[in-house]
Structure 1
Amino acid sequence: MKISKAQKDGIIEKLQSYYFDTYHEELGLIGAENMYSFFMKECAPVIYNTALKDAKYVVEQQMASLTEELDVLEKR
């Protein structure tokens, strides 16, 4: 998954902020980058595939609805 450097930097800042708010300890840049890499490797594909599955379901439902509407217009 490709994201811009600005997006990556924003995520790393949020990880550092979250870590500090939760554990009251600083998370260094290397630690935050390692955490980011872990999430991108392990979590991003799961989230992406789930979103793709959800989008596929919506398209299938819309196609079924369109098919029903076209069937109604069919001359008998």
Structure 2
Amino acid sequence: MRLPRRLAELAVAAWDREELGGIGDESREEYDVRDDAAELALIGPAISERGVWDGEEVVVELDVVQVAAALRAAR
């Protein structure tokens, strides 16, 4: 899969981020944002481990779960 550099960098950063503390009360919008971030984070390790940078894009082989996460993150 080819991903824009910015999206790939966000995925890696989302995966590397440490969560300190638990999740408190949140609105539906806050839940949706957190859920989107989690989807994006799922492709971070693949990009870090086997992504090949090609200019402003990264090319990475993803399994079916990661492809679905990438598609949802790109929306």
For the criterion TM > 0.5, the same-fold answer is no
Larger gyration radius, structure 1 or structure 2: 1
Higher fraction of helix? 1
Query: Which has the bigger relative contact order, CA under 8 A and spacing at least 6?
Result: 2
TM-score (norm. length: structure 2): 0.32
TM-score (norm. length: structure 1): 0.31
